[in-house]
Amino acid sequence: MNSPLTLGQQIDTQIAANGPMSIATYMGLCLTHPTKGYYKGPDPLGAKGDFITAPEISQMFGELIGFWLVNIWQQMDEPKSFNLLELGPGRGTLMADILRVACRAPGFRDALKLKLFETNPVLTGQQRSRLEVYDPKWLENFENFDEGPILIIANEFFDALPIRQFVRKPDGWHERQVGLADGKRVFGLSPTPIPPEALPDAVASAELDTVYEVSFAAGEVMSVLSKLVARQGGAILAIDYGYAETRTGETLQGVRNHAYADVLENPGETDLSAHVDFGALIGAARLAGIATQPVVTQGDFLLQLGIGERAGALSRANPGSAEDIRIARDRLVNEDQMGTLFKVFCAHSPGLIPPGFAS
Ligand SMILES: C[S@@+](CC[C@H](N)C(=O)[O-])C[C@H]1O[C@@H](n2cnc3c(N)ncnc32)[C@H](O)[C@@H]1O
């Protein structure tokens, strides 16, 4: 039943009854509470929303990933049936740009079984209208794939999965929690430290008050998908803001109307995200027995795939838009824009050589 209480009131009631909750529980409620979660509400993307993503900046982003996919499909000897899964497809823009390019490869369209994994009903509607010609199926879980390899794309999906935070104190690492003080939501720490062996070696000797973040949800998703790729063949391409190796540091952030916002205020109306620990995702993929590439920056990846040439061709075809195309290209690859902050991760069947990762 749809409660008349705001999500904030529901969270406060839960804390008052059960005590403080972990950051992961809080983040999960804020983002995907069945009726009042941030990702159950209106379209969050674009100028009128809270943030903008690479595919919404330029068609070049998806087109280059389309070439990337065709290359991988050809390396796999052009299977007559394969699954293409996108995690968190947003407005469907990225997949529409990908498939406009990729379906020009003879045989690709006929072999394609398109799968989408999405939690937001409004965005699902937009995906349906943009992608229905490709006959997509929306997955509730990662089961029931068609025969053949599985190719997986995720842009800014993993950063939206809940994280836990631990803080180093003299007696060990304590979990950071959300509690109540004088009726207001506040951060606090669990009274008892966690067993030190629960932490990776990379953080064990950190200084006092250091914060360590871990997303068990992201690790679990990567583990399940990697096992599928190990069984059926294929590749996973994930692009997100994050760091290449597991490390300490606090990155949980709130964003509202294109500006940073307090994480504890307006639950369900603020986007919450954290930088992705690609080192942990590499570990999950390797444990499942598939190969991984060293993480590269989005700028290097797109430049290697030929964004310079694609921008040139688009500008020649649309001279009146040449300046906009240059600005979009710079935004995607320049170091002081998205080029360095965003990283590209790839895990794949052994033997494949994914383009864009040459050192
Ligand atoms: C930041 S948006 C990125 C959208 C799109 N990939 C893009 O680049 O424009 C995150 C996407 O993941 C979806 N999402 C977030 N959490 C999810 C979850 N737990 N399960 C499924 N989809 C989720 C959102 O609804 C949205 O489509």
pLDDT tens figures, 93-135: 999 999 999 999 999 999 999 999 999 999 999 999 999 999 9
pLDDT tens figures, 323-342: 999 999 999 999 999 999 99
157: Cβ below 6 Å to ligand 1? yes
160: Cβ below 6 Å to ligand 1? yes
pLDDT tier for residue 140 given thresholds of 50, 70 and 90: very high
Q: If we measure between CA atoms, which residue out of 47, 60, 49, 8 comes closest to residue 29?
A: 8
> Could you tell me the distance, in angstroms and rounded to a whole number, from the CA of residue 93 to the centre of ligand 1?
12
Contact indicator for 228, 82 with CB cutoff of 8 Å = no
250: Cβ below 6 Å to ligand 1? no
pLDDT tier for residue 219 given thresholds of 50, 70 and 90: very high
Burial string for 179-198 (b: 16+ CB within 10 Å, else e) reads eeeeeebebebbeebeeeee
pLDDT tier for residue 311 given thresholds of 50, 70 and 90: very high
- Average the pLDDT over 144-162 and give the result: 97
Q: Looking at ligand 1, which atom is closest to the CA of residue 32?
A: 19
pLDDT tier for residue 1 given thresholds of 50, 70 and 90: low
- The domain locations on the chain are 58-159+216-246+270-348
Strand ranges across the sheet with 259-261: 259-261, 253-256, 271-273
Token reading at 157: 């999906």
60: Cβ below 6 Å to ligand 1? no
pLDDT above 70 covers a percentage of the chain that reads 100
Beta bridge partners of 167: 174, 211
Q: Which of helix, strand or coil describes residue 88?
A: coil
In the block, tokens 């509730």 appear at 140
Q: Which of 50, 119, 130, 332 to mutate to test the pocket of ligand 1 (most atoms within 8 A of CB)?
A: 119
Q: Looking at ligand 1, which atom is closest to the CA of residue 154?
A: 6
pLDDT tier for residue 259 given thresholds of 50, 70 and 90: very high
Closest residue to atom 11 of ligand 1, CA basis: 88
Contact indicator for 145, 232 with CB cutoff of 8 Å = yes
pLDDT tens figures, 282-296: 999 999 999 999 999
> Could you tell me the distance, in angstroms and rounded to a whole number, from the CA of residue 147 to the centre of ligand 1?
26
CATH topology of domain 58-159+216-246+270-348: Rossmann fold (3.40.50)
